[in-house]
A and B are shown apart, each in its own frame.
Chain A
């Protein structure tokens, strides 16, 4: 029943995203419209993939660091991606894909650095050190980014910051295709770790006695979640709240077993982001709002309501 509702909501939001837009296109002409085919449909699909990835990444990281406040961007990835993007603009890297590739590379570099820093005691990834390393690496990258911005012509770099606030304007069939090929691996890695994530909520030692290879699972989950986030940030900038809120909403409705929670988060994240992006495109048309602002504007009140209901129950 609840599943049916969620799948229905996903289909409904995707339909809305294709039907609604800043341009009025009669229903009968939707199928033949170039705007629908080349802009709206890929944008809706990309939004769904990105929102889903962020939510799954958030759910995985929250279990990994055993902290319900963990967010995919807490671990320094947004700082790294921002540095990559601003660097690409400041260096005037040529080519249509320079910005997303540089952002992706920046995110991966931050991920590798955080990972290396968190491996303080041998091969075990300490979640507390991981959080700390993420914050430190993120701040360091932000500092370098600000240094670059203040040393170069301000106009263009202000626009780079706008890119960082998140948006799906870069959606095309190419980006959808790249993500569709890229995402299954990290998603399956996370889904394959679902049971171990359940166990790890008990603490490392009890989880180990219940059959989880904590050291390996932790590395795998960190890598998979980071790969998801890095791809999301490369195609759409830093979109907040989806990765933080959706896993909680999922736990309220479906419990905290990750075998259910991860797919639920994927669908929920997709719904939230596509809905937010539809609003971002249409609310002030022809202008567009940064979608991260809309996710916060929708996500936070909904979350607050659910939280109240849930605490009372």
Chain B
């Protein structure tokens, strides 16, 4: 297991209730795990605890067997890469330079990027089908292009674990499908472990090996998509009536209308 969470409970300073309660999960090499849950279910907190940015109040998060908050941040960044939900662009820079930031955990202090680092940047851009973007300014990219560049930066870290927080948040169908296919193929081809945080039930069901459902910070189900994503569970967690159908052997959810349209014959 590259990443393990064992009975993790976490609470922000000054908050009245736990953001996470007793969450247990694990991601292994060559596996794509999706953490599913509605808004405010503690998904982003889960990343913080898993990567040691936040210390759990109870339980433990381990990366490669070592408690996450004990890792040196640079060493951890060589093992695990995170594509956060949003980031800032305070100063303009080109795509090539932005992806090079992914090599920073590997660079010794006071040294210039080496040939190997430039090669890693090229490979990462190629893997994300973003080579033609290398000379562009970050601010001129579309949402889909930017997401590919950030994935490339994460790959330039040459991690064993890839964590993505709502990676398809602002993408249309074509781009969200393309991104998930990309992640899936990275997992299959390179043996990466991937943890994808999303509220897109159908995408998670189509691509993930296993899913963990979160509800109000507490686990509401874990296992293969077919086992977890039953109508009863999904309705309870997302608080909305749904129908579940099978497609390609995976469950797919159709949200139902509560107020049915009145049919008028013309």
Contact = CB atoms under 8 A, between A and B. Distances in A.
A192 B110 contact: yes
Given A68-B91, A203-B88, A211-B105, 15 more contacts: A198-B101, A198-B104, A199-B101, A201-B89, A202-B88, A205-B53, A206-B84, A208-B53, A209-B84, A210-B101, A210-B104, A213-B73, A255-B93, A256-B92, A257-B97
Interface in B87-120: 87-94, 97, 101-102, 104-105, 107, 109-110, 112
B134 interface: no
Interface in B182-238: none
A66 B90 CA distance: 6
A209 B88 contact: no
Given A211-B73, A255-B93, A206 B87 contact: yes
Interface of B: 13, 48, 51, 53, 73-74, 76-78, 80-82, 84, 86-94, 97, 101-102, 104-105, 107, 109-110, 112, 157
B90 A210 contact: no
Contacts of A212: 73
Contacts of A198: 101, 104
B227 to A, nearest CB: 31
A192 B108 CA distance: 11
B91 A211 contact: no
The 4 A-B residue pairs with the shortest CB-CB distance in the complex, in nearest-first order: A211-B77, A209-B82, A211-B74, A211-B105
Given A209-B81, A210-B77, A255-B97, A68 B102 contact: no
Given A192-B110, A198-B101, A209 B53 contact: yes
Given A255-B97, A259-B112, A208 B73 contact: yes
Given A208-B73, A257-B97, A201 B104 contact: no
Contacts, number: 73
A209 B92 CA distance: 21
Residue of B78, B82, B90 ringed by the most chain A CB atoms within 10 A? B90
A116 interface: no
A213 B72 CA distance: 9
A205 B47 CA distance: 11
Interface of A: 63, 66-68, 121-122, 191-192, 195, 198-199, 201-203, 205-206, 208-213, 251, 255-257, 259
9 contacts: A66-B90, A67-B90, A122-B13, A191-B110, A198-B104, A202-B87, A205-B48, A209-B81, A213-B73
A256 B101 CA distance: 12
A195 B53 contact: no
Contacts of A251: 91-92
A219 B103 CA distance: 24
Contacts of A206: 82, 84, 87
Contacts of B91: 63, 68, 201, 251, 256
Nearest to A192: B109
Contacts of B90: 63, 66-68, 201
Contacts of A66: 88, 90
A211 B107 CA distance: 11
Contacts of B88: 66, 201-203
B147 to A, nearest CB: 14
Contacts of B104: 195, 198-199, 210-211
A122 B14 CA distance: 12
Contacts of B51: 209
Residue of A201, A202, A210, A255 ringed by the most chain B CB atoms within 10 A? A210
Nearest to B92: A256
A68 B105 CA distance: 26
Contact of A210 (B92, B112, B157): B157
B125 to A, nearest CB: 17
A63 B88 CA distance: 12
B109 to A, nearest CB: 6
Contacts of B87: 202-203, 205-206
A257 B94 CA distance: 11
Nearest to B91: A256
A122 B112 CA distance: 35
Nearest to A251: B91
Contact of B107 (A63, A195, A213, A255): A195
Nearest to B85: A205
A205 B54 CA distance: 11
A68 B88 CA distance: 13
Contacts of A259: 112
Nearest to A67: B90
A212 B74 CA distance: 7
Given A198-B104, A210-B157, A256 B93 contact: yes
B218 to A, nearest CB: 24
B106 to A, nearest CB: 9
A202 B97 CA distance: 13
Contacts of B109: 192, 195
A213 B74 CA distance: 8
A192 B110 CA distance: 7
A244 to B, nearest CB: 15
